[in-house]
Structure 1
Amino acid sequence: MLFKPSQLAIATHCALFLSVLPTTHANAESSPQSPNHNASMERMIITGSRSAERIDEVPSSVTLIDQQTLAQDMLITTELQNLLAFRVPGLAPSTGTSSNSGQNLRGRAALVMIDGVPQSTPLRNGQLGISSIDAGAIERIEVIKGATSIYGNGASGGIINYITKRASKDKVRINVGVSSKFSAVKLQDSAGYRVDTSIDGTIDDFSYVFSAITEKTGLERDAEGDVIGLVYGLSETKSNNYFTKLGYQLDDDKSIQLTYNYYEAQQDADLIDVIGSVNSGEKTYAIENTSGIVKPGVPQGPRGNHNLMLKYVDQEIFTNTQLTVDGYLQKIENMFFFSTALANPSEGYEGGQSIIKSEKKGLRINFASQIDWDNIESTVIYGIDALEDVSSQPLEDGRIWVPEMDMRNLAAYLQTKFVVADDWVFKAGIRQDSVDLSVEDYQTLKLCSTASTCSVPFDVTGGELNYDSTTYNVGLRYNMNALFSPFISFSQGADISDIGRLLRSATVNDIALIRTEASIVDNYEVGFSGQVGDVNYEIAAYRSESELGTSNTFDATTGVYLPVRAPQKIWGYEAQLDYRVQDNLSTGLSYSWIEGKDTENDTYLDGSTISAPKFTAYVNWQPVEDANVGINYMYVGDRKRFEQVNGQYVGSQGPIEHYNVVNLASSYQINNWQLSLGVENLLNEDYFSARSQAYTYGGYNTKSLGTTINVGVKTSF
């Protein structure tokens, strides 16, 4: 049985609630398929409430990366980590690798989604979710900041939702793009290629999108020309993304849509690392494997991530109410790098390679109703979420590190919005979650940092863990005038993420004795936005608190980092400004600052949670009608909160020194052809990323990409 009687009770209560709701008429703007949708999309979001709404009716910080901005940034790089780091205030700087470990959103984990389908693996968070689709399949990106339970577990820091491409209104449109990326510091073996093809269109009531993208990177080199290290490395990685979206308009109100996306990206490089460390000051870099010994392990990276979603929309299921039903299936396999930390010499293992496996099945039923009074417009969104997530983390050699976890989640939610006299926007919502998590009996893995320093394996009795949580949100925005629009909000998120990490580090013989309690995150935000002439701005301050967090402590006896559950407080502020200087010239800047503490011990949170201050700026210039030039700039500041322990920095407590990065994007249009030149790290800054400086673990202190050229040509017909 997929769900227990206690969970079915939630569905029953929700059904009763639906039956007594008044019948009303849905606003056209609340419909993802409405005729006005295309014209208004640039100022609309769908992620925050599951129904399209205007940004000026959202009482919290939102970042949108539209299609034009995304396309321009992709002339520089297609790495989503890098694109988001430059464009999203509050998101930590890019790690420069395939892993987004340490790239948090406001100090907490972000739930990454594709069209609302979760890509993160919260039960065993390998922190690879940001790179779960090729940027070429994305039309726009919506980022909602702050804890939210609107989509369930794993969104304690907010949501990053990739909205995939839609079909054009033409019967047939074909797009072809070819590009090559290579190092300007040392060309040798650095050249790669990318081929991006798609065909889409609309024929009567049928729409379609087919996309195939292949990319192969050469050797990625730092500012000194050395090959960047292999831990989550990107050198000699081959990726494929196949995307299909089919839609059919059944009648004026009803439509159905089928979406499938497949993504893989594996590094297969005959290289070995020369290991340095934060404490020695020596970087980790890779060299050709000339030892004659076959390198252990198999290629790392996503081995084949599948996402299938079927969506049905009825604009008026009953009077003034829209119904959206979507079901989805997802299968993820993320292979990690070979690590000697997974050694067990007594059993013949010199190391190991883990793989996170996750399969999700979900069904979502969402209603959106509108009720209008004299000078009040109200929207009520309500529905049911059902999800089964089966995740584990075995080793490639057959050993079990994290046992299979079977989570069944049933939730009911209600979200309301009231717009009074076109000026006051009040939002309030509630979500009730019932979660059952089953784990079979298992034994923790014996791991050895040296032949004589090993962890002690435990036989752990499995069982079932149950979580019931109720979370709330409330917010108020006053659109007083164009110059000044203040907002304030409170939101909660229920987070049981990374149970797998707790299970694999168990030091007791029963999962009931492991501190696996869910964490409720309280998020407070206050801010204001406005427009003064051609200047748009937003300033926000926030604070989030949780009774339980997850951090690490080093056990010198076993050489293993153990999780610590302790109360956390995180606070910070963000500011963003955009200025349209002339019709052909625009500029902007942003600043993010964040800090956090373990309030039980009054100690600062480390670099795996809190990022260094970040400043970004951009300039876009169109010197002539068919040419465009863009410059992006990022400054990452200092953060030095920790002292050495016995003469060494430990864990994620390395000091962060500031650095600067400048990127260039340029293009020229000749009829249907676009010629492009992008330059990443234009000034060849020689630097370690913030994460490479903070993480003291062996092999993580790699330098970032040196000056890299990306040249390409695209056509559409």
Structure 2
Amino acid sequence: MLKSTLSILAVSISTAAIADNTRVEHAKNSDMEHVVVSGSRVFESIDEVPASITVISQKQIEEHLQVNPELQSLLSQIVPGLAPDTGSSSNTGQSLRGRAPLVMIDGVPQSTPLRNGSLGIKTLDPSAIARIEVIKGATSIYGNGASGGIINYITKQARSGEKASGEMSISSRFSAVKVAESAGGRVSGAVNGRVEQFSYLVTASYEENGVQRDAEGDILGLQYGLSDTVTENYFTKLGYDLDEDKQIQFSYNFYSSQQETDLGDVFGNMNLGEKSYAVHMPPAQQKQGKPQGPKGNENVTLKYTDHAIFANTQLTLDAYKQDIENVFFFSPSLANPDEGYTGGQSIIRSEKQGARATFNSSIDFNDNVQATFIYGVDALNDVTSQPLVDGRVWVPEMDMDSLAGYLQTKWIVADDLVIKAGVREESIDIAVADYRTLKLCRSADTCSVPFDVKGDTVNHDATTYNVGVKYNASERFSPFASYSQGSDISDIGRLLRSATVTDIAQIQTEASIIDSYEVGFNSQLAKLRFEFAAFKSTSELGTVNKLNKETGIYEPVRAPQRIWGYEALVDYPITATLKLNATYSYTEGKNTSTDEYLGSKHISPPKLTANLNWQPQDGLSMTLSWLHVGDRKRFEKNDKNEYGLDQGPVDSYDVLNFSGQYQFANNWQGFIGVENLLNADYFPARAQSYTYGGYNVKGLGTTVTLGMKYQF
């Protein structure tokens, strides 16, 4: 039940929020895009947030889009603490500070935490995004699923001018190692404008991939692969100003990205250093099942804003509805020979509908103390399941109702000291009907034993607190410290499908409370900007998989975890036309009950990135981007001379990308992008460390993008 703790003032760092890009706040003495961020569900300057935040600007998004249209690649290159790009449609293993992030579009969750299929990052085309805000560390401000932090895609807004404007872009992407069958095409467009009080924005993109090839010219393996993928995205945002203080806004997003191919996999063994790759095969040996990937996922949001609902207070009301259907690859592990199934293909279905009320009140107590109070109520219904395409039920329907209230505060003392304070109280009910576990066979003689499980309603009540402080007296050294909690019941579906008891009440489904600690500082020394943060997070319950040797099925093991690390960022304009940005991140973690290191599902190897931008003249810009992934070798082989599930050793590798653009007319721009400029032959970090079948796919070889953009 929702308790009356909203009247209590507790300490908090506001580490999540919904931000609307209708306003921009610039931080003091900085030429960076210090826009408002998702700090407290209201507009807030980034220098008032005592936490590590990465804001990716529209310019950075557009430059990376010229090299690679996948958001996983963009986020990996720019965000410290985010694991390296997986090179696929799945972000499994791409953790944020060792834990799963919650992906959102304008504050609406896109992840499916009740059954996390790790496809949340791929939910929107980059052409519809104005900026991306990444808030690191556990937070419960948006509810379940944000144990590692938040990745919030802030979509574009209609421009204020009444004259309609827009753009069209067309490009082709192909392998420079072996061009045959690799050429693909992409077209995108946008139009926006205003007619009196009515504003509109419409974006659309359509892309067809050819085959993707590694440095040797072989087609990449198909497991979560992107070869022969067709991606469509249609987004619209409509607004109407009732008066100067009140606005209604409607937005709709449709996203589909599915693979239809006549290829088949040739599987290698990562323990032997062998890659998996794809070749043309007879129909019987081609990739089986329905096309994999998001199948027409939809989001609808309606928002009402009143900037002066009463004295010094703004009100935002929003309601949203979402339908997700993510189709996974055909897997022989889902076989049941007794019933005639040689394998199976699963679908994660999720239907969410929610409503939120957010109040923002500002009070100046005197010339030295200003306070902001953010408070409200969130309601969410999430119905998620994971059936198989053939009709079998792998994960039964989970019907979650969540009701939460929160109070977040910010105190600015003498202009320089920022203190944040708040509390969130959440009540969650998850109803699961009686179900029967699925019989799965790795071979005719190695099968799980199905049995009936009595359903129940699981209740979770959680109160989470946060505290943060930042001191901005000197831009040469601006320190901060924070403590934040998050309540996480993510991936309860994995627990249900691997049940070993006959009553859901006996399954260890309780929520995990994550405690996150962070200290750091920002420093501006003349032209040099430097950021550093050290972090630690602990939880009494985690989610690690272990092989059941009797059934051959991987089962969750919930054990206490401790994760720690540090991050650094350097931003330096070498000259007026040459700018350097570099980051370094290190993360490590252990199962504290056994003092064993965590595998790569949670912990990524060290990561170093550098971006060098040169603008020798107006209209001409070039960027060189370097990604270095370091070694991580924490585990030994088992008695079968094999590494564990996600415990393979990672050898370091380097990838260099290039992009350039030239404005050759008032409205016309040409661009080129080259991914893996030096054609490095490597396995990505996940491919090296995962010993699951089919994940041992090499990285993309040299791939070129050529295109043009027209603006009007």
Tell me the TM-score normalised to structure 2 length: 0.96
- Check the 8 A contact 1:31/1:37 in 2, yes or no: no
- Check the 8 A contact 1:147/1:158 in 2, yes or no: yes
Is residue 2:71 matched to residue 1:80?
yes
Task: Decide whether aligned partners of structure 1 residues 294 and 92 sit closer, same or farther in structure 2, where only a CA change above 3 A counts.
Answer: closer
Residues 224-239 of structure 1 aligned to structure 2 (within 5 Å): 224-239=216-231
| Partner residue in 1 for 2:431 | 438
Q: Distance in 2 between matches of 1:206 and 1:495?
A: 40
Q: SS of the residue aligned with 2:87? A: coil
Q: SS of the residue aligned with 2:270? A: coil
| Partner residue in 2 for 1:662 | 656
Q: Distance in 2 between matches of 1:595 and 1:655?
A: 14
- Check the 8 A contact 2:25/2:45 in 1, yes or no: no
Residues 114-193 of structure 1 aligned to structure 2 (within 5 Å): 114-170=105-161, 171-193=163-185
One-letter amino acid matched to 1:648: E
Shift of 1:169: 2.6
Q: SS of the residue aligned with 2:487? A: strand
Q: How many residues align?
A: 697
Aligned-residue CA RMSD (Å): 1.6
1:494 to 471, 487, 493: 487
- Check the 8 A contact 1:48/1:150 in 2, yes or no: no
Residues 478-489 of structure 1 aligned to structure 2 (within 5 Å): 478-489=471-482
Structure 2 unaligned residues grouped into runs of 5+ = 10-17
Shift of 1:346: 1.2
1:70 to 61, 66, 74: 61
Q: Distance in 2 between matches of 1:63 and 1:35?
A: 18
Shift of 1:555: 1.2
Residues 514-553 of structure 1 aligned to structure 2 (within 5 Å): 514-553=507-546
Q: Distance in 2 between matches of 1:363 and 1:266?
A: 31
Shift of 1:480: 2.3
One-letter amino acid matched to 2:179: L
- Check the 8 A contact 2:539/2:562 in 1, yes or no: yes
| Partner residue in 1 for 2:576 | 583
Shift of 1:44: 2.7
Shift of 1:35: 6.7
Q: SS of the residue aligned with 1:129? A: coil
Shift of 1:203: 2.1
Q: Distance in 1 between matches of 2:22 and 2:271?
A: 58
One-letter amino acid matched to 2:52: S
1:290 to 282, 288, 303: 282
| Partner residue in 2 for 1:23 | none
- The C-alpha deviation readout for 1:179-228, integer Å capped at 9, x for no partner, is 00000000000000000011111222211001110001000000100000
Shift of 1:689: 0.6
Q: Distance in 1 between matches of 2:667 and 2:217?
A: 37
Which one is further off, 374-383 or 32-41?
Answer: 32-41
Shift of 1:295: 4.5
Residues 265-664 of structure 1 aligned to structure 2 (within 5 Å): 265-290=257-282, 295-374=287-366, 375-646=368-639, 647-664=641-658
Shift of 1:583: 2.2
1:202 to 177, 194, 197: 194
1:213 to 202, 205, 229: 205
One-letter amino acid matched to 1:334: N
Q: Distance in 2 between matches of 1:295 and 1:204?
A: 53
Shift of 1:290: 2.8
Tell me the TM-score normalised to structure 1 length: 0.95
Which one is further off, 196-205 or 254-263?
Answer: 196-205
1:683 to 656, 675, 678: 678
| Partner residue in 1 for 2:705 | 710
| Partner residue in 1 for 2:14 | none
Q: Distance in 1 between matches of 2:571 and 2:148?
A: 25
Task: Decide whether aligned partners of structure 1 residues 184 and 123 sit closer, same or farther in structure 2, where only a CA change above 3 A counts.
Answer: same
Which one is further off, 490-499 or 286-295?
Answer: 286-295
- The C-alpha deviation readout for 1:528-566, integer Å capped at 9, x for no partner, is 001011111100000000000000111111111110010
4+ long deviations beyond 2 Å: 30-42, 290-296
- The C-alpha deviation readout for 1:276-314, integer Å capped at 9, x for no partner, is 121121100000023556652010000011000001000
Q: SS of the residue aligned with 1:85? A: helix
Task: Decide whether aligned partners of structure 1 residues 36 and 579 sit closer, same or farther in structure 2, where only a CA change above 3 A counts.
Answer: closer
Shift of 1:582: 2.1
One-letter amino acid matched to 1:572: G
- Check the 8 A contact 2:97/2:137 in 1, yes or no: yes
- The C-alpha deviation readout for 1:421-467, integer Å capped at 9, x for no partner, is 11100001100000000000001111111110011112100010000
Q: Distance in 2 between matches of 1:510 and 1:614?
A: 44
Q: Distance in 1 between matches of 2:196 and 2:658?
A: 41
Q: SS of the residue aligned with 2:329? A: coil
- Check the 8 A contact 2:609/2:627 in 1, yes or no: yes
- Check the 8 A contact 2:252/2:298 in 1, yes or no: yes
- Check the 8 A contact 1:521/1:545 in 2, yes or no: yes
Shift of 1:48: 2.2
One-letter amino acid matched to 1:135: P
- Check the 8 A contact 2:19/2:41 in 1, yes or no: no
1:60 to 45, 51, 62: 51
Q: Distance in 2 between matches of 1:168 and 1:320?
A: 27
- Check the 8 A contact 2:351/2:383 in 1, yes or no: yes
Identity %: 58
| Partner residue in 2 for 1:27 | none
Task: Decide whether aligned partners of structure 1 residues 260 and 34 sit closer, same or farther in structure 2, where only a CA change above 3 A counts.
Answer: closer
- The C-alpha deviation readout for 1:304-346, integer Å capped at 9, x for no partner, is 1100000100001000000000000000000000000111111
Is residue 2:665 matched to residue 1:674?
no
Residues 239-250 of structure 1 aligned to structure 2 (within 5 Å): 239-250=231-242
Structure 1 unaligned residues grouped into runs of 5+ = 1-5, 21-29
Task: Decide whether aligned partners of structure 1 residues 625 and 163 sit closer, same or farther in structure 2, where only a CA change above 3 A counts.
Answer: same
- The C-alpha deviation readout for 1:114-162, integer Å capped at 9, x for no partner, is 0000000000000000001111111100000000011111000000000
| Partner residue in 2 for 1:25 | none
Q: Distance in 1 between matches of 2:160 and 2:175?
A: 39
- Check the 8 A contact 2:48/2:418 in 1, yes or no: yes
| Partner residue in 2 for 1:102 | 93
- The C-alpha deviation readout for 1:76-98, integer Å capped at 9, x for no partner, is 11100000000000000010000
Shift of 1:42: 3.2
Q: Distance in 2 between matches of 1:77 and 1:35?
A: 29
One-letter amino acid matched to 1:49: S
Q: Distance in 1 between matches of 2:646 and 2:22?
A: 48
Q: Distance in 2 between matches of 1:499 and 1:699?
A: 25
Shift of 1:32: 4.6
- The C-alpha deviation readout for 1:678-711, integer Å capped at 9, x for no partner, is 0001110101110001110111100010000000
- The C-alpha deviation readout for 1:40-68, integer Å capped at 9, x for no partner, is 99323332210011111100100000111
